[in-house]
Amino acid sequence: MTDRFGQYRQQWFAGGATARADILAGIVVALALIPEPIGFSIIVGGDPRVGAVS
């Protein structure tokens, strides 16, 4: 089992270019998804802090 995990880990972090692309993709997704629940809570007339927590 640990051998399989080691192989997967080597494939995931094969190079710096893929790691940079993965980090950039994570930042883009976070920037797209964080304001969404805040906007929905404002639309329904709720407190934006409630949307931020959800």
Listed by start position, the domains of the chain span 15-53
The predicted-structure confidence for 22-43, as pLDDT tens digits, reads as follows 889 999 998 988 888 888 888 9
Q: Label residue 53 by pLDDT band (50, 70, 90).
A: confident
Q: How many CB atoms lie within 10 A of CB 51?
A: 19
Rounded to 5°, the CA angle 30-33-39 comes to 135
pTM of the model: 0.51
Cα(34)–Cα(51) distance, integer angstroms: 9
* Cα torsion angle, 49, 50, 53, 54, sign: negative
- Within 2-42, strands assigned E span none
pLDDT above 70 (res 12): no
> How confident is the model at residue 28, as a pLDDT?
93
Q: Percent of the chain beyond pLDDT 90?
A: 13
Q: Region 1-27: what's the mean pLDDT?
A: 72
